């Protein structure tokens, strides 16, 4: 495969999302839509990656500042062909294939992109290869118009389609592999659409076909890869599909998810083998779980959570930026935030780390072998030493670290035995 450059279309506002936020920044399984498209371009070794931005450009740039992308600003969104034409000075003389991706089509896979580029490069004369999908509800997608021998003749947008054309169920994914010279020659001839004055990239495909250029189509094996997200409803649908993919991958890696449909796991979550995830558990993006752990039912593991091997987290336990060591347990009704928990620790039912003082977040450290009684509150910053114990209902106040092996109880918690009752009530 020769060198493949890529342009990602991401300038649109996404009016149909009903949001002030740029469409490509909306989260899908915990990560912005655009991040999936970039990851896919990277996985297929596309370089350089040009991203066309416009609406909310500064925020998009800031969200992906570490990604080494080339930004192209489309100040006014005048259509997909106009957007691509802005990249012409950068790409028209490149020798390899140019792939166009949509920032609002995050379900595309590297496997399909590789197939698209391979098909495109099978014949060096090919001007464009379009990725299409066969769907039940073609809705707002552009339709592929083929002739009697199956040759692609044109792509028609719904607003310009006849009743008969609207019945076609082969849709344009908005993803293409182009010969850059042929693309940028034809793009000059695109006329603004009669309905809204926008310049449509699919018109380039129709123009190339009309000129007798070689135009190919790859029909996606799984049409969900072509899903474009224009509305909240489509975002929710894409979220479900991505979620299924995430869980399927984890299951195939040896994780036992008891009921996938009742479990929610976001992107970039690592889980070791033989770990069991019980239903009604939510695992947010970036969480790392070791092997042989038990999670749920009803656990919420938020970003920054790390569970080491054999750790257990149970009902109504929420963790955030918290590390739980090997063989440690937090089985019931806990909030553990900004907490470092060692090995063989038992977190009693209802233990809370009070990590926020109204201004800042503070850390709690619970060392190896420590255990907390039911209803313990640990006011951070605070440390429970190795093998220390708190009694039921203890409130360990901030800075009052519990030394190794010591048991504390009461409010505020004091070492047991050291506390003399001040007023002995007489009967
Ligand atoms: C587009 C295609 C349609 C295809 C569908 C697949 C056109 C005219 N139509 O329709 O054939 O079936 O995608 O999802 O291309 N964008 C810009 N600048 C612009 C306009 C759009 O960068 O001036 C970006 C958007 O941010 C978006 C992508 O291009 O990421 C597609 O634009 P959108 O308006 O969503 O096109 P669709 O109506 O979905
Ligand atoms: Ca779209």
Across the chain, which has 427 residues, the per-10-residue mean pLDDT values are: 87 88 95 98 96 96 94 96 95 90 98 98 97 96 98 97 97 98 97 95 98 98 97 97 98 98 98 98 98 98 98 98 98 98 98 97 98 98 98 98 98 78 53
Neighbours of ion ligand 2 (CB under 5 A): 104, 228, 230
Same domain, 221 and 271: no
Q: Give nearest CA residue, ligand 1 atom 31.
A: 102
Same domain, 20 and 91: yes
The reply to whether 246 falls in a domain is: no
pLDDT at 420: 53
Same domain, 218 and 272: no
pLDDT at 419: 43
Distance 334 CA to ligand 1 centre (A): 46
pLDDT at 260: 97
For residue 199, give the ligand 1 atom closest to its CA. 8
Instruction: Name the nearest CA neighbour of 10 among 28, 37, 31.
Output: 37
CATH number for the domain that contains residue 116: 3.90.550.10
The reply to whether 247 falls in a domain is: no
Instruction: Name the nearest CA neighbour of 225 among 34, 3, 37, 23.
Output: 37
The reply to whether 220 falls in a domain is: yes
The Cα–Cα gap between 365 and 182 comes to 63
Pair 59, 24: CB distance under 8 Å = no
Same domain, 283 and 367: yes
pTM of the model: 0.94
The reply to whether 200 falls in a domain is: yes
pLDDT at 240: 97
The reply to whether 241 falls in a domain is: no
Distance 228 CA to ligand 2 centre (A): 5
Same domain, 97 and 219: yes
Ligand 1 pocket member 228 (CB < 6 A): yes
Mind telling me the catalytic residues? 332
The Cα–Cα gap between 330 and 348 comes to 7
The reply to whether 216 falls in a domain is: yes
The Cα–Cα gap between 265 and 257 comes to 10
Same domain, 79 and 200: yes
For residue 157, give the ligand 1 atom closest to its CA. 11
**Cα-only R_g, the chain:** 28
The reply to whether 348 falls in a domain is: yes
Neighbours of 222 (CB within 10 A): 12
Same domain, 217 and 258: no
Q: Give nearest CA residue, ligand 1 atom 33.
A: 12
Same domain, 195 and 126: yes
Which residues constitute the domain of residue 329? 253-415
Mutate to test the pocket of ligand 1, among 102, 202, 219 (most ligand atoms within 8 A of CB): 102
The reply to whether 422 falls in a domain is: no
């Amino acid at each position: 495969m020769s060198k493949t450059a890529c342009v990602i279309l991401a300038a649109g506002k996404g009016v149909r999302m009903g949001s002030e936020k740029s469409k490509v920044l909306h989260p899908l399984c915990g990560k912005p839509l655009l991040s999936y498209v970039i990851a896919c371009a990277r996985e297929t070794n596309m370089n350089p990656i040009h991203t066309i931005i416009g609406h909310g450009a500064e925020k998009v740039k800031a969200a992906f500042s570490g990604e080494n992308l080339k930004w192209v600003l489309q100040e006014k969104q005048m259509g997909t062909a106009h957007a691509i034409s802005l990249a012409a000075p950068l790409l028209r003389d490149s020798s390899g294939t140019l792939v166009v991706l949509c920032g609002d089509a995050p379900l595309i896979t590297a496997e399909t992109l590789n197939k698209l580029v391979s098909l495109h490069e099978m014949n060096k004369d090919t001007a464009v290869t379009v990725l299409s999908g066969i769907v039940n509800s073609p809705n707002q997608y552009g339709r592929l118009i083929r002739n009697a021998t199956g040759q692609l003749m044109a792509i028609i947008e719904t607003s310009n389609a006849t009743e008969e054309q609207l019945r076609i169920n082969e849709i344009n994914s908005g993803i293409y592999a182009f010969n850059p010279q042929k693309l940028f020659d034809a793009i000059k001839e695109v006329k603004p659409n009669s309905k809204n004055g926008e310049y449509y990239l699919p018109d380039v495909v129709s123009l190339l076909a009309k000129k007798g250029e070689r135009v190919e189509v790859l029909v996606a094996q799984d049409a969900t890869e072509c899903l474009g997200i224009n509305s909240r409803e489509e975002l929710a649908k894409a979220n479900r599909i991505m979620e299924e993919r995430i869980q399927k991958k984890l299951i195939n890696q040896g994780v036992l998810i008891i009921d996938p449909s009742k479990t929610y796991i976001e992107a970039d979550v690592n889980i070791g083998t033989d770990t069991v995830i019980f239903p009604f558990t939510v695992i947010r993006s970036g969480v790392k779980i070791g092997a042989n752990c038990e999670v749920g039912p009803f656990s919420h593991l938020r970003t920054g959570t790390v569970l080491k091997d054999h750790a257990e987290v149970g009902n109504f336990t929420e963790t955030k930026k918290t590390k739980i060591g090997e063989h440690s347990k937090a089985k019931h009704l806990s909030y553990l935030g900004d907490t470092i928990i060692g090995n063989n620790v038992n977190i009693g039912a209802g233990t809370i780390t009070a990590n926020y003082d109204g201004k800042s977040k503070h850390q709690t450290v619970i060392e190896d072998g420590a255990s907390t009684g039911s209803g313990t509150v640990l006011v951070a910053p605070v440390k429970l030493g190795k093998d220390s114990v708190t009694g039921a209902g203890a409130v360990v106040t901030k800075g009052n670290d519990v030394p190794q092996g010591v048991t504390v109880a009461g409010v505020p918690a004091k070492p047991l035995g050291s506390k003399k009752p001040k007023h002995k009530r007489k009967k």
